[in-house]
């Protein structure tokens, strides 16, 4: 039922460990770092298994950073997330498995482009709504929803970023799971894969607690974006070759 070897499962846990640790330190990153690596390991690991694990990670992070949460700033992003969920569900229902690789590649490269473009929108109701929609749309299809919402929080302080982004990602992940269920991308195999890779989430979250005040995210950013760009390009090429 699961076309994945023990070696692939081990590598998947390591990839999720790294992404979970990064998200625990920076407020986002499990999708940006782990999703491209998981795609290279086995496309069956995306998107639902990673979205499930990302949901559990955001619960852990929200509990740890709840003191800095400002829910009023998050509600407009959540409203935009409803639109993103609907659009993502329609997209997944219409595209074929071959089309998924092409769509994955395009959206990953778009996320990388947003991250390196130097765009610095202010944190307001309009930008939160747009970022929420884009983040949920991308997160549902690729499990990489961080770049759009991270753009509007890039000038905020660490505790607020980790708390508010965790609150948004938690609701956004539930939106994504709903879309994945109704589009047929979430079933028993995906639940099993999520459970088999959840140890990576726990290990990464635990490690991030020891590194959160020691590692500057700026030093890791070029490496993360480089990995994402390579995997996005690979998916795009594979998708084009199968057309």
Per-residue model confidence as pLDDT tens digits over 48-61? 999 999 999 999 99
Question: Do 140 and 47 form a contact (C-beta atoms < 8 A)?
Answer: yes
* Cα–Cα nearest to 29, from 236, 215, 233, 185: 215
* Cα–Cα nearest to 155, from 132, 121, 129: 121
Rounded to an integer, what distance in angstroms lies between the CA atom of residue 233 and that of residue 70?
Answer: 37
Does any domain span residue 16? Answer: no
The pLDDT tens digits of the residues spanning 208-237 come to 999 877 766 566 667 666 766 776 787 788
Q: Which residue range forms the structural domain that includes residue 120?
A: 38-241
Question: Structural domain tally of the chain?
Answer: 1
Residue 83's pLDDT is 94
The kind and range of the H/E element at 47 are none
The phi and psi torsions of 201 (rounded to 5 degrees) equal -65, -50
Residue 206's pLDDT is 96
Rounded to an integer, what distance in angstroms lies between the CA atom of residue 200 and that of residue 70?
Answer: 29
Chain mean pLDDT for the chain: 85
Residue 119's pLDDT is 74
Does any domain span residue 232? Answer: yes
Does any domain span residue 15? Answer: no
* Cα–Cα nearest to 47, from 91, 1, 112: 91
Rounded to an integer, what distance in angstroms lies between the CA atom of residue 75 and that of residue 78?
Answer: 5
Residue 113's pLDDT is 84
Residue 220's pLDDT is 62
Rounded to an integer, what distance in angstroms lies between the CA atom of residue 25 and that of residue 19?
Answer: 10
Mean pLDDT in runs of 10 for the chain (243 residues)? 85 96 85 86 92 95 86 86 93 82 83 77 85 89 81 75 87 92 92 97 95 69 69 76 70
Does any domain span residue 236? Answer: yes
Residue 101's pLDDT is 77
Does any domain span residue 18? Answer: no
Half-sphere exposure of 59 (CA within 13 A, CB side): 9
The token duo for 102 is: 């092409």
Residue 1's pLDDT is 47
Does any domain span residue 14? Answer: no
């Amino acid at each position: 039922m699961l076309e994945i070897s023990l070696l692939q499962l081990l590598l998947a846990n390591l990839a999720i460990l790294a992404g979970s640790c990064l998200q625990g330190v920076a407020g986002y990153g499990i999708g940006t770092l782990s999703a491209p690596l998981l795609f290279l390991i086995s496309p069956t690991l995306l998107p639902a298994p990673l979205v499930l694990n990302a949901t559990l990670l955001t619960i852990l992070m929200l509990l740890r950073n709840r003191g800095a949460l400002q829910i009023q700033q998050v509600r407009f992003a959540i409203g935009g997330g409803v639109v993103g969920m609907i659009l993502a569900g329609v997209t997944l229902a219409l595209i074929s498995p071959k089309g998924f690789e092409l769509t994955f590649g395009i959206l990953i490269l778009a996320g990388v482009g947003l991250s390196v473009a130097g765009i610095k929108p202010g944190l307001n109701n309009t930008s939160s709504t747009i970022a929420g929609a884009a983040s949920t749309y991308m997160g549902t299809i690729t499990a990489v929803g961080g770049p759009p919402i991270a753009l509007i929080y890039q000038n905020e302080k660490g505790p607020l970023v980790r708390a508010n982004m965790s609150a948004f990602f938690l609701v956004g992940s539930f939106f994504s799971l709903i879309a994945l269920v109704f589009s047929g991308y979430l079933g028993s195999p995906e639940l099993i894969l999520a459970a088999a890779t959840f140890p990576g989430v726990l290990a990464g979250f635990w490690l991030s607690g020891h590194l959160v005040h020691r590692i500057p995210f700026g030093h890791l950013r070029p490496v993360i974006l480089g990995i994402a760009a390579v995997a996005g390009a690979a998916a795009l090429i594979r998708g084009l070759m199968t057309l």
